[in-house]
Amino acid sequence: MAEARGAQAGRYATVALVGLPNSGKSTLLNTLVGEKLAAVSQTPQTTRGRITGVVNRGPVQLAFLDTPGVHQARHALNQRMLHHVDIALAEADLILWVVDADGFLGPGERDLAKRLKEARQPVYLILNKLDLVSKGRLLEKIAAYKDLLAFREIVPVGAKLAQNLDPLWSILERDAPEGPWAFEDDTFTDQTERSMAAEFIREKILRKTREEVPHGVAVVIRAWTEAGEEAYPEDGPEGGTCIEAEVLVERAGHRKILLGSQGAMISDIRTSAQRELRKLLQRPVRLELRIKVEEDWRDRPDQLDKLEL
């Protein structure tokens, strides 16, 4: 995504979504941004990297941060979540704390509240999954949370079914600080599609291999050509996109697992990622995957730069 040079005047806010795994942060981000940006999954902790969705609403530009971290993969879940909060505290103008309205207020959320108390920026309590709770239960939840910290607003939403988003938009538009936009107004560039594609492929790998291939897997898009471009393969699908991606793993053993018996696993991952990418890009897609063993890629700054982590 390109940073703006001649940025537009108006109002701009970086909005961070924080909360426990499975509260629906990625779903909310996708609903707000209107595209499938983050990897949404039943499995906690599948999102990673920093995915920014940018929405322009009249004179207001809102850039959403989803702030999970890779580098903390070895840390306990709670620490990881708090690390996301620290990123939000450092970088965001507005902080949305997303809570599963159908869950319960546990120690993890109390720790999160403690950390958010230090926020100099406004914090909003977003009670998500409105469709799953009765009005009475919702009121109970509000009562349980409201004194944890001085929320600027409390907004119930249903991210999955896009319920009650108008009040949230109005609040964000109202509270975005005055200042220049940080991004061009045509924010959905090729670069964003690329990072989304890499994220989709990675999500498929994690789902299909479960815990067998741990967090040391990354996806790098090596080539991306559109029909009509000179480099577009002759046998590429008509009016489509050809994508070549490299899957980096840390050990030969992981490569073996990813390949599967006679290449069955990687072939399965490729087919289902390709299907998703077609839906995402709304055009024919041909995906090629290569697996590469790159020991300790996580500790090498050149690799991390390439991955934009």
45 binds ligand GTP (CB under 6 A): yes
Task: Give CA–CA dist 114/102, Å, rounded.
Answer: 22
Q: Least distance (Å) from ligand GTP to the CB of residue 306? A: 23
Stretch of 40-48, 57-65, 183-191, 218-226 lying at the interface with ligand GTP (CB under 6 A) = 40-48
Interatomic CA distance for residues 125 and 145, integer angstroms: 8
CB of 34 to ligand GTP, least distance (A): 15
Q: In the complex, what is the shortest distance from the CB of residue 186 to ligand GTP, in angstroms, rounded to a whole number?
A: 26
**Please, which residue, 25 or 141, has the CB nearer to ligand GTP?**
25
The answer to whether 158 contacts ligand GTP (rule: CB under 6 A) is yes
Give the Å distances, CA to CA, from 64 to 51, 70, 97, 127, 265. Answer: 8, 19, 13, 18, 34
Query: Which residues touch 201 (CB under 8 Å, ≥6 apart)?
Result: 219, 245, 247, 269, 273, 287, 289
Q: Are 121 and 134 in contact (CB under 8 A)?
A: no
We find the least distance from the C-beta atom of residue 5 to ligand GTP, in angstroms, to be 32
**Total residues in contact with ligand GTP, by rule CB under 6 A:** 22
Single out the segment in contact with ligand GTP by CB under 6 A; choices: 21-29, 170-178, 219-227, 256-264: 21-29
Binder to ligand GTP among 13, 15, 36, 46 (CB under 6 A)? 46
Tokens of 279: 């839906």
| 41 binds ligand GTP per the rule CB under 6 A | yes
Binding residues for ligand GTP restricted to 260-299, rule: CB under 6 A: none
What is the end-to-end Cα distance of the chain in Å, rounded?
14
- What whole-number distance in Å separates Cα of residue 221 and Cα of residue 198? 6
> Does residue 132 contact residue 101 with C-beta atoms inside 8 Å?
yes
Residue 307, CA atoms < 13 Å, CB-side half-sphere = 26
Cα–Cα distance for residue pair 87/50, rounded to 1 Å: 11
Asked if 42 interacts with ligand GTP (CB under 6 A), we say yes
Residue 73 interacting with ligand GTP (CB under 6 A) = no
- Calpha distance 232→242 (Å, rounded): 7
Q: How far is the CB of 55 from ligand GTP (least distance, A)?
A: 17
Sheet holding 217-226, edge to edge: 217-226, 241-249, 285-293
Q: Does 27 bind ligand GTP (CB under 6 A)?
A: yes
| 25 contributes a contact to ligand GTP by CB under 6 A | yes
Shorter beta-carbon distance to ligand GTP: residue 193 or 203: 203
* Stretch touching ligand GTP by CB under 6 A, among 35-43, 167-175, 235-243, 246-254: 35-43
Does 192 sit near ligand GTP (CB under 6 A)? no
* By the rule CB under 6 A, 24 interacts with ligand GTP: yes
Nearest-10 crossing angle of helices 264-281, 252-259:
70
Provide the minimum distance between the beta carbon of 124 and ligand GTP in the complex, in angstroms, as a whole number. 16
Give the footprint of ligand GTP on this chain (CB under 6 A): 19, 21-27, 40-42, 44-47, 128-129, 131-132, 158-160
